[in-house]
Amino acid sequence: MSEYLVDIQNLRLSFFTPAGEVKALNDVSIQMKQGDVLGIVGESGSGKSVTAYSLMGLVPEPGRILSGSIIFNGHRIHEMSEKELRQIRGNEISIIFQDPMTSLNPVFTIGNQIEEVILLHTDKNRKEARERAEELLSLVGINEPKKRLRQYPHELSGGMRQRVMIAIALACEPKLLIADEPTTALDVTIQAQILELMNELKEKIGMSIIMITHDLGVVASMCEKIAVMYAGKIVEYGTAEEIFYNPQHEYTKGLLLSIPKLTATEHEKLIPIEGTPVDMLMPPQGCPFAPRCQNTMKICLKEMPPYTDINEDHYSACWLLQKQAYMTMKDGVAR
């Protein structure tokens, strides 16, 4: 068994849509140790959710894994049958989704929905499952858990429902919790509460977390490691400190510049990243970010940049970091 809890190697995944092949993941590798908290950051369509879903064997149709391997806790996820995957889902890996308003089934009580996952994966009987559900609701900070168990989702607020989703996710003490933009649909004060709760639970339970978000603020408050994704590729990976204070990839730099600062003066404008995201049906030949990059070179348009190690756990895929690229700089900047 490898030392990693999560070991994704060279994963290539495409969606075969009627319009053509969408290369959603292009050579993605991620390693996480037990207890790690990883943030995956990127814009919509960058492949951050698909990466996490593939870990649960939940690749939506018409997606196919083309090559690479996904190993979680010793299980070879990419080779497992649906039946085997069911044993893991909700048990060893759980997930919290973006929209708590629609993620709970409206016609069943909260209790029923928490107990369901307990009954599925443990040999507790109904009574024990109910007790556990009550315990879980207290754990996620819901008052009057006995009463809440009998209530339906529509009787609870958005923040409460997300707490219920977290309770469901934690029911079987998973080794890994995937949080897919857990706070995007919530208002700011509730966001802070949910993040605080997750931080607290991380300490208490000691599970690993993958936090998927496009909000760098969320990542900064929770994650030790950050993977920045762009067009189905991890363009930069490093510790939170490295990413925030020593960004290497032009896209990461752009993302950081586009965050509003508290210290900004009244008339200081935010700096957006110019251009539009790549058309994944026809990705460019070279670096996918090249068309939007401020410092594009000729080679960027032709060849995919390899990863350059900045230090022990910080690497980035950008030609500007490659010595051989500087050799071709003689040709001058492309634009």
Residues that bind other proteins (CB under 8 A): 56, 58, 82-83, 86-91, 94-95, 97, 99, 102-108, 116-117, 120-121, 152, 154, 165, 168
Residue whose CB is less far from other proteins, 94 or 252: 94
Residue whose CB is less far from other proteins, 154 or 204: 154
Residue position matching structure tokens 């000691």: 206
CB of 70 to other proteins, least distance (A): 16
Cα 171 off chain centre by: 21
Transcribe 63-112 into DSSP letters. EEEEEEEEEETTEEGGG--HHHHHHHBTTTEEEE-S-HHHHS-TTS-HHH
**Residue 290 token pair:** 């090249």
First and final CA of the chain: distance in angstroms?
49
CB of 325 to other proteins, least distance (A): 42
Are 234 and 240 a contacting pair, CB within 8 Å? no
Contacts of 321 by beta carbon, 8 Å cutoff, 6+ apart: 248, 305, 308, 310
Residue whose CB is less far from other proteins, 121 or 130: 121
CB of 103 to other proteins, least distance (A): 5
CB of 114 to other proteins, least distance (A): 10
d(CA 282, CA 173): 42
Q: Are strands 176-180 and 208-213 parallel, antiparallel or unpaired?
A: parallel
Residue whose CB is less far from other proteins, 33 or 76: 76
Computed from CA positions of residues 209, 215, 219, 225, in that sequence, does the dihedral angle turn out positive or negative? positive
Residue whose CB is less far from other proteins, 146 or 154: 154
Residue whose CB is less far from other proteins, 103 or 252: 103
CB of 79 to other proteins, least distance (A): 18
CB of 105 to other proteins, least distance (A): 4
269 CB neighbour count, 10 Å cutoff: 6
Residue whose CB is less far from other proteins, 101 or 301: 101
d(CA 268, CA 287): 31
CB of 93 to other proteins, least distance (A): 9
